Amino acid sequence: MLRLGLNLPHSDGQMAGRTPRWADILAMAREGEALGFDSVWISDHMGFGDPEGEWRGSWESWTLLTAIAASTERVMLGTYVTCAPFRNPALLAKMAETLDEVSGGRVILGLGAGWSEPEFRAYGFPFEDRFDRFEDSLRIICSMLRTGTAHHDGVAAQARGARLEPRGPRPGGLPVMVGTAGPRLLRLTAELADHWNGSLRPIGELEELLGRVAEACQAVGRDPATLTRSAEVLVRTLPANPDVPPDERELVGPPEEIADRLRAYERLGIDELQVQLRPNTLEAIGAFKPVMDALRR
């Protein structure tokens, strides 16, 4: 059955023009859990735009996710997605394992290489070698999560006997999700990851990309069916602000119609959808209930 995740707001202006405070984010996470969402997700950014000009800042994702873990009971918890070049990979593996312990085994470690050069530059992270850093990070993190240690002498990151102790509730390792569309990272996803994410794309484009995911799996001798596949969707549950042009990617309409359009992703081979509501508010979560009911029927 198609699983649904809830993408929570984390940046200036993301709550119908307002900045989400911790009380807002906590209330939305708890409401999503009560409504029946399978997971909640926080994106990993320092901010968006030009740090020297117009800028929308963001709360730090791992701090938020840890607080959500201690404040919920059932939902899975994911980063959508952690920018691997922002953090030391061995430390990131420790962070994920520790949060898995805190949450009772509910963490999905989403990873990506990052894309916003102004964000990298402003906070002092190298941008040009981010794909090398991502590959080294993925190899170190997956080794630590699955074997408890990592020995890796990479181009951009190294680990020399880094140990993951103590272990959390899943000694075999928590799931690693990679968000990517590029050939190099698709190959790495097929080789090392448990879960692939196609981000926010039209369903036709996503279908073509799923073909490339299958080809990447076959190239490394992996059954494509063993790789979980997910994507993001925008769903409008409350009327749009007439002064703000609607996003053409939004799913709109009666609950049964929206539910059927979500099922189209399942028919395509998607296992989970990360839903970003429009507006991204507490009230919009409640308004999603008829869609959830229609999906269950």
- What confidence tier does 216 reach under pLDDT thresholds 50, 70, 90? very high
Q: Is the pLDDT assigned to residue 7 strictly greater than 90?
A: yes
Domain that residue 159 falls in: 3-296
Q: Is the pLDDT assigned to residue 243 strictly greater than 80?
A: no
Q: Is the pLDDT assigned to residue 48 strictly greater than 90?
A: yes
pLDDT of residue 176: 98
pLDDT of residue 75: 98
Query: How does pLDDT run across 150-178, given as a tens digit for each residue?
Result: 999 999 999 999 999 999 999 999 999 99
**Structural domain tally of the chain?**
1
**Euclidean distance between CA atoms 107 and 97, whole angstroms:** 8
Distances (CA, A) of 291 to 5, 170, 234, 272: 14, 33, 13, 15
Supply the pTM of this predicted model: 0.96
- What confidence tier does 146 reach under pLDDT thresholds 50, 70, 90? very high
The residues with which 220 forms a beta bridge, in sequence order, are: none
Q: What is the CATH number of the domain that holds 114?
A: 3.20.20.30
pLDDT of residue 240: 85
Name the residue among 213, 62, 179 with its Cα closest to residue 111: 179
